[in-house]
Amino acid sequence: MTKDAQQDDTSSLVRRLEEEGEVAADYLEELLDVADLDGDIDLDIQHDRAAVEILSEDPTSRSLQILVGRDGEVLDALQDLTRLAVQARTGERSRLMLDVAGYRAGRRRELESVAAEAVERVKASGEAVSLDAMNAFERKVVHDVVAESGLVSDSAGVDPDRHVVIRPASAESV
């Protein structure tokens, strides 16, 4: 592939992701209006995905927590609905990531710490370690940390009990 073709592919991807973000922002602004919630919407592109965050206009307010729910359950559902709205408008499947009031960013930091501790336990013992059940976003964060450490990980089980198993790189995959 020529350098010009790569640039065209990259700029085409960026345009598509920007469009996804704009469609998602329109959808979420309407939702905020209907729910009578105040929030600002921030758009970005991260890891070749549209990234949309609803931020509180008042940093001390917890009014947006209703959109997060217990353990991020409402946020997961809202992300799925937003992806469907984007797909309905663009005709393309969306992998957009949604965050509300920094919930996912904070959860990512927690999971990175849990994963790092589990990696150290595996390195020290040479034995596999199974983590608690996690949703797909959470498992992805853990898999990324494990991959960076040089160990291997797999998801095991069936939702809602799907979890990550971390093992030494020399161990056979299950």
Q: What is the pLDDT of residues 15-53, one digit of tens each?
A: 999 999 999 999 999 999 999 999 999 999 988 899 999
Same domain, 14 and 38: yes
Expressed as residue numbers, the domain containing 138 is 106-167
Same domain, 97 and 110: no
| pLDDT level of residue 173 (50, 70, 90 thresholds) | very low
Query: Which of 17, 46, 40 lies closest to 100, judged by CA?
Result: 40
Among 50, 77, 101, which residue terminates a domain?
A: 101
Same domain, 94 and 153: no
- Give the number of domains in the chain: 2
CATH number of the domain bearing residue 131? 3.30.1370.50
Same domain, 31 and 94: yes
Does an H or E element contain 53, and which?
Answer: strand 49-55
Same domain, 54 and 95: yes
Other CB atoms within a 10 A radius of the CB of residue 17 amount to: 21
Same domain, 16 and 47: yes
Other CB atoms within a 10 A radius of the CB of residue 15 amount to: 10
If one compares 4 and 29, the residue with the highest pLDDT of the two is 29
Tell me the whole-structure pTM to 2 decimals.
0.78
